[in-house]
Amino acid sequence: MDIIGVDVGGTFTDLIRFDETTGRISAAKVPSTPRNPAQAFIAGLDALALDPQAIRHLIHGTTVATNAVLERKGATVGLVTTAGFRDLIEIGRTQRMLEGGMFNPRFVRPKPLVARARRFEVRERLLADGSVLTSLDEDDVASVAAELRSAGVEAVAVCFLHSYRNPAHEQRAGQLLRAALPGVFVSISAEVVPEYREFERFSTTVLNSYVSPIMGRYLAALDRELAEQGYAARVFTMSSNGGILTSERAGAEAVLTILSGPVGGVNGSIAVARAAGLRNLITYDMGGTSTDVCLVHDLAPVVSTENVLAGFPVKTPQVNINTVGAGGGSIAWLDGGELQVGPRSAGADPGPASYGQGGSEPTVTDANLVLGRIDPDRVLGGAIRLQPKLAEEVIQALAAKLGGLDLHRLADGIVRIAVARMTSSIREISVQRGYDPRDFVLVAFGGAGPMHATHIAEELAITHVLIPRYPGNLSAFGLLTSDLKHDYVRTFLRRLSAVAPADFAAQFAALEEIARQQLRADGVAPADVSFVRSLDLRYLGQAYELNVQLPEDGYAIAPIRRAFYDRYLATYGHASEDEEVQVVNVRLAALGRVPKPIVQPLAQTGTLDGARLGVRQVYFGDRFWNTPLYERDLLPTGVRFAGPAIIEEAGATTVVTPGWRLEVDAFGNLVLES
């Protein structure tokens, strides 16, 4: 049987096939089809020459939900809320939520996803302990349903005050609205984010209503097209928390898939690093439209529930990935005579000028082609033949605007500016959080990551870089290494000194029972279920908390307090052991193990001369170098040589700059050292 991973990116769709019988892994890459992502999905399956009946399941990562928010192309949403709280999603916390921080002079609060005319109030009120102050007025709900129908909404978010304590009012309102508005998607906050902090809970629920109809239609269309092609395998979707979801849940809670694609690359990096004996790494995934980076410490990525997308809080567990608009398709342009690169991208359509599909502006890919770092005769994604002359023309036109700057110096400058933007993104997740990048290995992948890895490493003083096998498809491979995962949370505001171990045991037992039922419905055997328990803790009186994972052997209070002090010290550089600690939330991550590939040693024989393809003039620094070219699939394990060199393969090109050495390890990874 086969397991298939499909990562639908902005420029290319990458696929990995794992044959459970033979252990063989194969890869494919096809151009993405942004107007209908399912077309590229099917084209990629065709490229793998699969037997539809021999597939156990398909796992895919998608940017459908993310793009719907970023491009403001989600569903028309209505909001139903407690009387007096109609404007909460617009008022927020009067803080500057956009990237750039509170001192950003260019800050502009994003327009709410729900226009004020589509926000409706109903009479009901719960107190902070969940008790009923004012019962739900069902006549109000009926009246609001009529107005929502007149407004032509496609989705409704139901957000009442303190519903995390008592969901009864939201549940009843949801029932009434679903009955009155057939075909309209209804999302209630007690199911999406059952924890306190109204603004974040309201925002996340609105986002879920905004993207779920889009995701639902996409998944339904994908299922239809797969069925027409004879595929009957179950489809799973990558979640932002590092696990996978059934299509049913992904369609109902699409907000959980905001980072669906990039997380696969992090999981793939962890699988490769574990096999190679590495523990601390910075993942660097450069694709056609953007670059995603993540810090992994002791083989565990940081997972956060304090996230922001396009200025909107998203309070769901997400692997902490930093994204910057710098990719192979990032456009070079002038701003007042100064050279800029990105965040605007040529994407898949029309793509870089050298794709010959109508692109008229220079991109990072065009610059690398002019510098000799990309083979002009290679066919990208099985369909795109590069045209160097077009790349030269658009860069030469930009050079003319800069007073006739040398073509190759400008191309090198374009690459270096892109590198600077990506390096800054890595510093944000490392240096600014107290980590020294020199203590980490840079794992580079994506279609363009290996081409720029040594440049990135040099800027950060990182001395070790690892390029895994199939780097252009690593995110798809990472999908196959992921387990089913569901997150559960319950607000539990207590002083830690007033809590007994039995109290924690009761809270987690209730969540575990819900989790077991969910995983049983997902088809997971009880023996394949495991749990990770944690608490959100803070000093009494503080506004924000830290998540602390609990040991598996019990809930003793003293070790929990010590774990919080240690985590606080590591995060902020100081901690007081005399201050009172407060519990805010109990959290449970429920994992359902699924069959997955294991990274195996690769017995690759041959010689360095046998892998050599020839020599090409490649521009490094300020001159051209005679640079040997090698076919990666023919490089024997254990071989070592010094740069400069170009390593070519179907999904990516690795550039070994002068001053770096390369070795092929036992698993077929390219290990670069400065």
- In tens, the pLDDT along 587-629 reads 999 999 988 888 889 888 899 999 999 999 999 988 999 999 9
- When pLDDT is averaged across residues 222-243 and rounded to a whole number, the result is 91
User: Do residue 205 and residue 80 come from a single domain?
Assistant: yes
CA atoms 283, 284, 285, 290: torsion sign: positive
Residue 99 has pLDDT above 70, yes or no: no
CB neighbours of 473 closer than 8 A, spacing ≥ 6?
Answer: 7, 14, 15, 16, 27, 28, 29, 651
User: Do residue 97 and residue 203 come from a single domain?
Assistant: yes
Q: Which of 26-30, 276-280, 489-493 has the lowest mean pLDDT?
A: 26-30
Is the peptide bond preceding residue 343 cis, with omega within 30 degrees of 0? yes
Looking at 537, 557, 592, the residue that finishes a domain is: 592
Q: Are 445 and 475 in contact (CB under 8 A)?
A: yes
Conformational region of residue 319, where left means phi above 0, alpha means psi within -120 to 50, and beta covers everything else? beta
User: Do residue 77 and residue 111 come from a single domain?
Assistant: yes
Q: What is the 3-state secondary structure (H, E, C) of 96-116?
A: CCCCCCCCCCCCCCCCCCCCH
Looking at 170, 194, 215, the residue that finishes a domain is: 215
Q: Residue 241: which of 594, 529, 515, 485 has the closest Cα?
A: 485
* Residue 465 domain flag: no
- In tens, the pLDDT along 445-486 reads 998 999 999 999 999 999 999 999 999 999 999 999 999 999
- In tens, the pLDDT along 376-400 reads 987 776 667 899 999 999 999 999 9
For residue 665, what are the CA distances in angstroms to 26, 280, 672?
A: 20, 18, 10
User: Do residue 192 and residue 133 come from a single domain?
Assistant: yes
Q: Residue 453: which of 653, 274, 271 has the closest Cα?
A: 653
For residue 201, what are the CA distances in angstroms to 4, 193, 235?
A: 35, 6, 29
- In tens, the pLDDT along 418-433 reads 999 999 999 999 998 8
Domain of 106 in residue numbering reads as 69-215
The model's confidence at residue 98, banded by pLDDT at 50, 70 and 90, is very low
CB neighbours of 484 closer than 8 A, spacing ≥ 6?
Answer: 236, 243, 244, 245, 246, 519, 522, 524, 591, 592, 593, 594
- In angstroms, the CA 42 to CA 46 distance is 6
Q: Residue 537: which of 504, 513, 502 has the closest Cα?
A: 504
* Residue 244 domain flag: no
**Average per-residue pLDDT for the chain:** 92
* Residue 646 domain flag: yes
CB neighbours of 663 closer than 8 A, spacing ≥ 6?
Answer: 638, 639, 640, 670, 671, 673
* Residue 81 domain flag: yes
User: Do residue 667 and residue 563 come from a single domain?
Assistant: no
Give me the pLDDT at residue 107, please: 67
User: Do residue 563 and residue 492 come from a single domain?
Assistant: yes
* Residue 614 domain flag: yes
CB neighbours of 502 closer than 8 A, spacing ≥ 6?
Answer: none
User: Do residue 612 and residue 569 come from a single domain?
Assistant: no
Angle at 406 between CA 402 and CA 411, to 5 degrees: 85
Looking at 189, 215, 241, the residue that finishes a domain is: 215
User: Do residue 519 and residue 625 come from a single domain?
Assistant: no
- When pLDDT is averaged across residues 147-169 and rounded to a whole number, the result is 97
User: Do residue 211 and residue 73 come from a single domain?
Assistant: yes
Element at 459 (helix H, strand E)? helix 449-460
User: Do residue 635 and residue 547 come from a single domain?
Assistant: no
DSSP for 546-604, please give it: EEEEPPTT---HHHHHHHHHHHHHHHHS---TTS-EEEEEEEEEEEE------------
Q: In which residue are the tokens 């290319």 written?
A: 12
- In tens, the pLDDT along 243-262 reads 999 999 999 999 999 888 78
Question: How many domains does the chain contain in total?
Answer: 3
- When pLDDT is averaged across residues 199-210 and rounded to a whole number, the result is 97
Give strand pairing partners of 296. 281, 301
| Portion of the chain with pLDDT greater than 90, in percent | 74
Q: Is 135 helix (H, G, I), strand (E, B) or coil?
A: coil
* Residue 108 domain flag: yes
Say which DSSP state 497 is in: G
Q: Is 655 helix (H, G, I), strand (E, B) or coil?
A: strand
* Residue 337 domain flag: no
User: Which CATH number goes with the domain that contains 545?
Assistant: 3.30.1490
pTM for the predicted model, two decimal places: 0.90
User: Do residue 505 and residue 622 come from a single domain?
Assistant: no
- In angstroms, the CA 374 to CA 384 distance is 13
Tokens matching residue 61: 């990562």
Say which DSSP state 363 is in: B
The model's confidence at residue 105, banded by pLDDT at 50, 70 and 90, is low
Inter-axis angle of helices 449-460 and 407-429, to 10 degrees? 70
Q: Which of residues 232 and 182 earns the better pLDDT score?
A: 182
Give me the pLDDT at residue 593, please: 94
Give me the pLDDT at residue 486, please: 96
Q: In which residue are the tokens 């803070």 written?
A: 538
Q: Are 438 and 462 in contact (CB under 8 A)?
A: yes
* Residue 78 domain flag: yes
Q: Are 263 and 323 in contact (CB under 8 A)?
A: no
Count of C-beta atoms within a 10 Å radius of residue 620: 18
User: Do residue 75 and residue 205 come from a single domain?
Assistant: yes
Give strand pairing partners of 673. 464, 661
Give me the pLDDT at residue 71, please: 82
Residue 97 has pLDDT above 50, yes or no: no
- In tens, the pLDDT along 167-199 reads 999 999 999 999 999 999 999 999 999 999 999
